């Protein structure tokens, strides 16, 4: 059982945020929560979550405020609206922002939090819903070290936190990781399709490939769903492409060439155009299979 001296507030109780809030409730923390659609959080309320009506109410009530939202636009809305987090921040509050957003947007919000006497950390995570539930996320934290030390015990309930550096650097590292996530999945799908089309039994190819030196934790985790995609994506293609585009933006600002990132972005854009936007990243195999079939018909 964790220490419960700090009260926790969660804004954004979707698949990731909701499961993180559930873990902290299970660890004995007092957890307040807010979500645009309350019906999505009723199971958490039944488990002891204390409901708040606005992000501002969360910031006023909790000692440590967590946010987990899809993108820059959603973050600006929950942060800067009249009933947003910034309106409720005060001296000594700590805001842990766990979304994957642009480093620039995060740094700007961190400055606005400082003007109110509060401290903001960017703390994006590597891992999907299974890792949240197991408490095995990798958490990359950017921001002042004293604030990191304060919230590190809370973050350990969710996984393994690491302090990376100043504000924004946790997000930069998260984008660097997600480049590899997208490119790995695409390369694995290409190899699997090549084996299958060459006459190798697809399940045997999958088993051998995942057991080989290319069987990363991400690849092994998705081996169970690549031929039978779940109705509820672990990590939707739309989110993956958003992160890849953020990485490309960061590369352009540094005048860096990111050729595999550019190619992954093209494939993900094609996947979205073909209706895979809300499917898990593992759907790139099905996409490549569909494209191969269409080329065969056209030949």
Among residues 165, 198, 229, the one where a domain terminates is: 165
Mean pLDDT, rounded, for 250-273 = 96
Q: Would you say residue 2 lies in a domain?
A: no
Is the CB of residue 107 less than 8 Å from the CB of residue 77?
no
- Average pLDDT over the chain reads 95
Sign for the pseudo-dihedral over CA of 99, 105, 109, 110: positive
Q: Are residues 188 and 285 in the same domain?
A: yes
Q: Are residues 14 and 156 in the same domain?
A: yes
Q: What is the pTM of this model?
A: 0.91
DSSP one-letter code for 122: E
Is the CB of residue 86 less than 8 Å from the CB of residue 60?
no
Question: What pLDDT, on a 0 to 100 scale, did the predictor assign at position 2?
Answer: 47
Q: Residue 182 and residue 261: Cα distance in Å, rounded? A: 8
Strand, coil or helix: what is 263?
Answer: helix
Q: Would you say residue 3 lies in a domain?
A: no
Q: Would you say residue 1 lies in a domain?
A: no
Percentage with pLDDT > 90 across the chain: 92
Q: 174 an active-site residue? A: yes
The string of pLDDT tens digits covering residues 88-138 is 999 999 999 999 999 999 999 999 999 999 999 999 999 888 899 999 999
Q: Are residues 99 and 128 in the same domain?
A: yes
Q: Residue 248 and residue 242: Cα distance in Å, rounded? A: 10
Give me the DSSP letters along 41-87: GHHHHHTTPEE-SSHHHHHHH-SEEEE--SSHHHHHHHHHSTTSHHH
Question: How far does CA 223 lie from the centroid of its chain?
Answer: 20
Neighbouring residues of 110: CB distance < 8 A, sequence distance ≥ 6: 119, 120, 121, 122, 143, 167, 168
The CATH number given to whatever domain includes residue 89 is 3.40.50.720
Q: Are residues 239 and 159 in the same domain?
A: no
Give the range of the structural domain holding residue 266, as residue numbers without chain letter: 172-298
Mean pLDDT, rounded, for 47-72 = 97
Percentage with pLDDT > 70 across the chain: 98
Q: Are residues 109 and 151 in the same domain?
A: yes
Catalytic residue, candidates 93, 174, 220, 242: 174
Q: Would you say residue 144 lies in a domain?
A: yes
Q: Are residues 216 and 124 in the same domain?
A: no
Neighbouring residues of 271: CB distance < 8 A, sequence distance ≥ 6: 237, 241, 277, 279, 283, 284, 287
Q: Are residues 232 and 251 in the same domain?
A: yes
**Residue 164 is encoded by which pair of tokens?**
């990376």
The CATH number given to whatever domain includes residue 272 is 1.10.1040.10
Among residues 165, 192, 223, the one where a domain terminates is: 165
Among residues 148, 165, 182, the one where a domain terminates is: 165
Q: Are residues 260 and 183 in the same domain?
A: yes
């Amino acid at each position: 059982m964790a220490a419960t001296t700090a009260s926790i507030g969660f804004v954004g109780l979707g698949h990731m945020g909701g499961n993180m809030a559930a873990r902290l409730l299970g660890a004995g923390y007092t957890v307040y929560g807010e979500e645009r659609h309350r019906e999505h959080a009723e199971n958490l309320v039944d488990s002891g979550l204390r409901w708040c009506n606005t992000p501002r109410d969360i910031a006023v009530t909790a000692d440590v405020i967590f946010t987990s939202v899809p993108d820059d636009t959603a973050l600006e809305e929950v942060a800067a609206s009249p009933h947003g987090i910034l309106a409720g921040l005060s001296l000594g509050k700590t805001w842990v922002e766990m979304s994957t957003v642009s480093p620039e947007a995060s740094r700007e919000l961190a400055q606005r939090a400082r003007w109110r006497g509060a401290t903001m950390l960017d703390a994006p995570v590597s891992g999907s819903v299974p890792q949240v539930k197991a408490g095995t996320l990798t958490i990359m934290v950017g921001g002042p070290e004293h604030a990191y030390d304060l919230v590190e015990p809370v973050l350990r309930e969710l996984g393994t936190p690491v302090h990376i550096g100043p504000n924004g650097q946790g997000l930069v590292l998260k984008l660097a990781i997600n480049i590899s996530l997208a490119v790995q999945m695409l390369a694995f799908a290409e190899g699997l399709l090549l084996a299958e089309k060459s006459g190798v039994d697809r399940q045997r190819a999958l088993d051998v490939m995942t057991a080989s030196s290319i069987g990363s934790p991400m690849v092994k985790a998705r081996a169970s769903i690549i031929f039978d995609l779940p109705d509820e994506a672990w990590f939707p293609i739309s989110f993956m492409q958003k992160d890849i585009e953020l990485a490309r933006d960061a590369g352009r600002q540094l005048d860096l060439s990111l050729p595999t990132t550019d190619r992954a972005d093209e494939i993900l854009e094609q996947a979205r155009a073909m209706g895979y936007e809300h499917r898990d990243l593992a759907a790139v195999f099905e996409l490549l299979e569909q494209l191969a079939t269409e080329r065969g018909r056209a030949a």
